[in-house]
Amino acid sequence: MKRLLVALALVLGGCSAGQGGPTTITFWDNNGGPGRTPIYQELIKRFEAANPDVKVEYVGIPSSSVQQKYDTAIAGGSTPDVGGVTTSYLAHLVGQGALEPADDRLDSGPLKGKLLPGLLETVRQTAPDGKLYAVPASGNMDVIWYRSDRFAENQIAEPATWDDLVAAATKLTRPAENQYGFTIRGGAGSVFQLLSEAYSYSGIDKFYDGGRSTVADPRNAELVRKVAEMYKKATPEADVNNSYTQMVAQFTGGTVAMMHHNLGSTADVMKALGPERVSAMPLPKGPSGKRTVVPNPTDGFAVFKGGKNQEAAWKFVEFLTSAESNGYWNEKVGQIPANTEVRGAEWIQNNPAVKMALGVLEDPATVLVPAPVYLPEYSSITKTDTEPLYQKVLLGQMSAQEFLDQLAAKLTTAQQDWEKRK
Amino acid sequence: MRTRTWAPYALIAPTLLLMVVFLLYPIASVGWFSLRQHTVTQPWKNGFIGFENFRRMLFDDPLFWQSLVFSAKWVVVEVGLQLVLGLVLALIVNETFVGRALARSLVFSPWAVSGVLTTGIWILLYNPSTGIFQQLAQWGIGDPGTSVLGDPATVFPATVVTELWRGVPFFAILLLADLQTIPNDLYEAASVDGAGRWRRFVSVTLPHLRDAIVLSTLLRAVWEFNNVDLIYTLTGGGPANQTTTLPLYVARKAVDSHDFGYGSALTMAGFVILLFFSILYLRLSKFGSRA
């Protein structure tokens, strides 16, 4: 709170950028916590040593409330100079006219041509004008973390298809011993993950077909049904309320053998279980045999409009995305570095999960199916509106098809609105 | 002469000012927002839309009615049980026995625990792998892995028990305070007239407690109606909206979906309901008319 007040005072007071004294800029970490804060603090120390005329005020914000904090800051005119953002709510901020486009800066700066084109594309897609409103720093991919030790004990091979996964989950479930094969995210964040699962299974390579959402395709419904059928048979009953915290607690606590999340949980998972007991695999394929991947939100940095120290702010963003900082950061968090110069780094060779993800994303046979995170309503549709409906599916109160029909109708309307506005 | 005309107004001005700032302005502002489309994420759509939000609420939103019905059920069950159990506890700790002071402090202690902390405690108790139901399963009662918060059949009683644990002491405190103002002469006189324990309770204690009961049930009904912290943190209104109260629905619409226009319309509905309920309740119970 105190730090927030300091940040507020600095921004409101125009950052006391007197001649001679150092310039202070505020930086909001959009996922502050014991895992990430120390990494940023180290990077800020390095930045300040290289740029003695700029001081960076770090404010760590929990990811669960960051969207709300940004909205409040925009409404009250107290935005930071630089903020961490992900593409899942970038459209939000762009829609409110809060961000500076980065295209010109990038073209004339040291990062030109050095960032992964695929990540730049996912960021551009979130803005109706196609401009780049955040500089990507990390890519991510959905993975299934699984207990390689338990798979070996039971002589189960890494599942290649969803049916393999269901069979493995069933085999590894022993309720009397508090052991379950899989965990379903049934609470906060469920639909995001379910959609990745559905498209990996169905092999459908577009979210929209002629302006209509493909979500309700019977092949997607088949997957939702398969997952729902695992509920309580191969998963704990409590899964219906699972958010990330409960899910990861079940996995790291040893209750479940497989968990669908993304590379973002690397640190939590590795710290608890270690590389000898856990491995990552891509989401399994379906009967089509195609590798379709819904890209995970891209993490990056945005410069806010109205900051008095734009030059210093851009300097900081360029520093954070430079090969050295970007490599350091992604090595620590176990994600895919946006800066292509990091690709040859040794740590990537030694991190099987990141190496596997890069392999999948760079495979020419992989088709990316970007979710419409650019829709301003995307977050409220996939959270407030439909998460309870997915719970109904798990509890057997609604059919998978009916649930996807409702979701598809909302996504189609939102897309039409978006097209009209574009 | 002039001083006489403005002096009283100057004296009540601070109170009036506070009421305007903290009561009238927020109510008026919510009222105004309820007539607007106001979504933070789609500012280009914002504007005055008349009673559209209310039309949508009343005719197009089954979740509004569902949450309202659940709120009513929640208030009746919670306040009813809290009153009965609170009265029982108050009567017990009003008796003289060894260790009464300790018993009193134990009875009241849950009231000092915040809603979120209460949830923290009960989530641990309900935890399917480490909580009481796992222990019971080991003794052969029930199935292992039972998740009372995940099962639509048990989530309501589990939530009710959690809130009871915290809410009963409130009634116990209030009723005990009033119990102690009942003059002993009344009980002595009643005993002399041959009244037994039950008769003394019905004819002396209860009538004396009437105002305290009316006031505490009214306060508690309003609070329970507006209860967000405990349910939000315990179940999040789930699973599948099974425990979504009206205020929780408001929080989801306004805070999570950033739809402040519709959220304000829902809030106005809650406001009007509580206003009429309070007036009606005080009228019917003839509160404060005993003198």
The pLDDT tens digits of the residues spanning A19-41 come to: 557 899 999 999 988 888 999 99
- Return d(Cα B217, Cα B171) in angstroms, integer: 8
Are B147 and A395 within 8 A, CB to CB? Answer: no
Are A188 and B252 within 8 A, CB to CB? Answer: no
The nearest alpha carbon in chain B to A97 belongs to B43
Burial tier of A153 (Cβ tally within 10 Å: 0-12, 13-18, 19+): exposed
Query: Amino acid letter at B9?
Result: Y
Q: Residue B98 domain-assigned?
A: yes
Q: Span B51-74, mean pLDDT?
A: 94
Structure confidence by residue, pLDDT tens digits, A166-224: 999 999 999 888 899 999 999 989 999 999 999 999 999 999 999 999 999 999 999 99
Q: Cβ contacts (< 8 Å) between B151 and chain A: which residues? A: 237
Asked if B95 and B179 touch (Cβ cutoff 8 Å), the reply is no
Q: Cβ contacts (< 8 Å) between A71 and chain B: which residues? A: 40, 258
ipTM for this model: 0.85
Are B236 and A241 within 8 A, CB to CB? Answer: yes
Long-range CB contacts for residues B103-106, cutoff 8 Å, separation at least 24: B104/B176
Could you tell me how many CB contacts below 8 A there are between chain A and chain B?
A: 97
- pLDDT of amino acid A237: 92
Of A186, A236, A385, which is closest to B145 when you measure between CB atoms? A236
Domains of chain A, each with CATH number or no CATH: 2-140+297-362 (3.40.190.10), 142-294+375-421 (3.40.190.10)
Confidence of residue A11 (pLDDT cuts 50, 70, 90): very low
Burial profile A183-216: b = 16 or more Cβ within 10 angstroms, e = fewer: bbbbbbbbbbbbbbbbbbbbbbeebeeeeebbbb
Whole-number average pLDDT of chain B = 90
The dihedral through the CA atoms of A285, A192, A212, B59 has a sign that is: positive
Q: Cβ contacts (< 8 Å) between B149 and chain A: which residues? A: 238, 241
Interface probe, candidates B29, B37, B41, B235, chain A, greatest A C-beta count within 10 A: B41
* Biggest alpha carbon–alpha carbon distance for chain A: 71
Structure confidence by residue, pLDDT tens digits, A362-371: 888 999 898 9
- Return d(Cα B81, Cα B205) in angstroms, integer: 19
SS3 category, B47: strand
pLDDT at B287 over 80: no
Distances (CA, A) of B100 to A281, B40, B83: 62, 55, 21
- Return d(Cα A298, Cα A134) in angstroms, integer: 10
- Return d(Cα A220, Cα A230) in angstroms, integer: 16
Q: Cβ contacts (< 8 Å) between A96 and chain B: which residues? A: 40-41, 43
Whole-number average pLDDT of chain A = 90
Q: Does residue A113 come out as left (phi exceeding 0), alpha (psi in the -120 to 50 range) or beta?
A: left
Helices (H) and strands (E) in chain A, counts: 19, 13
Q: Residue B165 domain-assigned?
A: yes
- Please give the tally of structural domains in chain B: 1
Kindly compute the dihedral angle of the four CA atoms of residues B245, B250, B251, B255, in this order, to the nearest 10 degrees: 160
User: Of B92-96, B229-233, B246-250, B287-291, where does mean pLDDT reach its minimum?
Assistant: B287-291
pTM over 0.95, yes/no: no
- C-alpha triplet A155, A203, A90: angle, nearest 5°: 105
Alpha helices in B127-205 (DSSP H): 132-138, 155-179, 184-192, 197-200
Residues of the domain holding B211 = 29-39+47-107+154-285
Residue A253 per-residue DSSP state? T
The nearest alpha carbon in chain B to A243 belongs to B236
Residue carrying structure tokens 């009967």 = A287
Q: Cβ contacts (< 8 Å) between B38 and chain A: which residues? A: none
- Return d(Cα B163, Cα A147) in angstroms, integer: 39
- The domain spanning residue B170 has which CATH number? 1.10.3720.10
Interface probe, candidates A65, A74, A379, A380, chain B, greatest B C-beta count within 10 A: A380
Structure confidence by residue, pLDDT tens digits, A297-352: 899 999 999 788 999 999 999 999 999 999 999 999 889 999 999 988 899 988 99
Query: Amino acid letter at B135?
Result: Q
Q: Residue B186 domain-assigned?
A: yes
Of A68, A176, A397, which is closest to B240 when you measure between CB atoms? A397
Q: Residue B290 domain-assigned?
A: no
The nearest alpha carbon in chain B to A250 belongs to B129
- Return d(Cα A174, Cα A247) in angstroms, integer: 18
Q: Residue B91 domain-assigned?
A: yes
